Copies of this chain bind each other. A is one copy, B any other.
Amino acid sequence: MTAPIFANWLSQTNDVTQIFLGASEDPNLINLAGGLPDPSVWPVAELASLATTAMMDHPDKSLSYSPIPGLSDLRDTVARRFSKDGLTLTRDNVMIVSGGMQALDLIGKVLLDQDDIIAAQSPAYLGAIDAWRPRGPKYRALDLEAQDFDPAPALGGAKFAYTVPNFSNPTGRLVLLAQRHALVQAAYETGTYLVEDDPYGTLYYEGDVLPSMLEISASMYKGPYTGPVIYLGTLSKQLAPGLRIGWVIAAPEVISALVTGKQGGDMCTAGLTQVIANTAITSGLVERILPKILELNKTRRDALCAAMDAYLSDLFQWRVPQGGMFVWATARNPQLNTDRLLRVAIEHGVCISPSSAFDPLGLNHSAIRINFTLNTAQDLAEGIQRLAAATRAVLDTQP
């Protein structure tokens, strides 16, 4: 038998993700590539207790098919948690998803036809690029470094704009307040949706928390939200990623379309993890563990940046991020190919994410993303020394 060929988009995937996922199974490798929290922050005993209570007190909700948009209790909890002066949310503004990743998948499914345009922060989260590839979109870059940032030309005619405004994945960059206002304004002017992907919004290690574009766009009118922002949140970085609980907040007509997408996607999110998530939020557990997460992450960010100052400053340049999980480092030598660096780094016992994975065209080879949340200060320092050695090895043998 000659098997039929797979769909076209599968031939356009880049193997970088598979390489670093594969490498991360080696216990001697220091993995700076992923975006994983440290398991020590998970409140295991409390979650075990919540799981038992969920099952015994709410067997129907835990074990039956859930409503496609999510359990009503959890939708109400998310609506209440994000409502504030000037932002009114009801259950109809909220759906539960199986991790923030599924929200990206559903957004592509319900908004994109072949060759539709996405105006994306550049570089962009590789998971979003993966999620949208099967829909065959084209990309325009939102240049947040431009002096007079005017997103309207990029947004005009696009199906949606995409940003991670708080500590962008991969760059760790904060989208500034004036830029947030400009994006919202441009979304209204051009009639384009604005996808605000916010997994790191609770991870500010210093500085004032900026208002979300969801809030900014709501302040213009009263009543339940009907604006252009599609806001994505998740418990993965606030509680535990294995629960696979995220949410979308948007205008009811957008939620309704996404629910149709989810009906043909996974039907519903697991009831058990939804019940656990709801109690974890309403009981205050999520807020209670946040200071510990912030302290650990901040300490590790500082340890990573100190190691980078000591061992990497002649090879790369970077900005210290005010929050999130990543440092983005650009090679000083434009000849350095970071795809090649990934392969050599793995031989040296360290793994990073190369910039090509964050470029829809796979053409950016000049930078790397380094995670600081998973490893101890000691391992971060050792990993950076290995990375420096690997970088020198690549430069020494550069063709």
Contacts and interface: CB of A to CB of B under 8 A. Distances in A.
A4 interface: yes
A17 B68 CA distance: 11
A118 B264 CA distance: 17
Interface string A1-38: 11110111010010001000100000000000000100
A63 interface: yes
A344 interface: no
A127 interface: yes
Interface string A255-283: 00100110111111111110000000000
A55 interface: yes
A310 interface: no
Contact of A42 (B52, B63, B261, B263): B63
Contacts of A241: 63-65
A363 interface: no
Interface string A312-327: 0000000000000000
Contact of A270 (B21, B101, B243): B243
Interface in A267-310: 267-273
A389 interface: no
A260 B13 contact: yes
Given A243-B272, A265-B265, A55 B63 contact: no
Interface stretch (A187-195, A203-211, A348-356, A378-386): A187-195
**A112, A236, A265: most-surrounded residue (chain B CB, <10 A):** A265
A101 B68 CA distance: 12
A263 to B, nearest CB: 6
B263 A130 contact: yes
Nearest to A158: B4
A75 interface: no
B127 A109 contact: no
A64 B240 CA distance: 7
B65 A242 contact: yes
A159 B4 contact: yes
A347 interface: no
A73 interface: no
A134 interface: yes
**A191, A260, A269: most-surrounded residue (chain B CB, <10 A):** A260
B51 A272 contact: yes
Interface string A217-251: 00000000000100000001000111110000001
A269 B1 CA distance: 32
A36 B64 contact: yes
A67 to B, nearest CB: 8
Contacts of A17: 263
A70 to B, nearest CB: 12
A111 interface: yes
Interface of A: 1-4, 6-8, 10, 13, 17, 21, 36, 39, 42, 44-45, 47-48, 51-52, 54-56, 59-68, 98-99, 101-102, 104-105, 109-114, 127, 130-135, 159-160, 187-189, 191-193, 228, 236, 240-244, 251, 253-254, 257, 260-261, 263-273
17 contacts: A3-B228, A4-B191, A7-B113, A39-B59, A39-B63, A44-B56, A45-B56, A48-B55, A48-B56, A52-B52, A63-B242, A99-B267, A99-B268, A104-B264, A105-B266, A130-B263, A244-B266
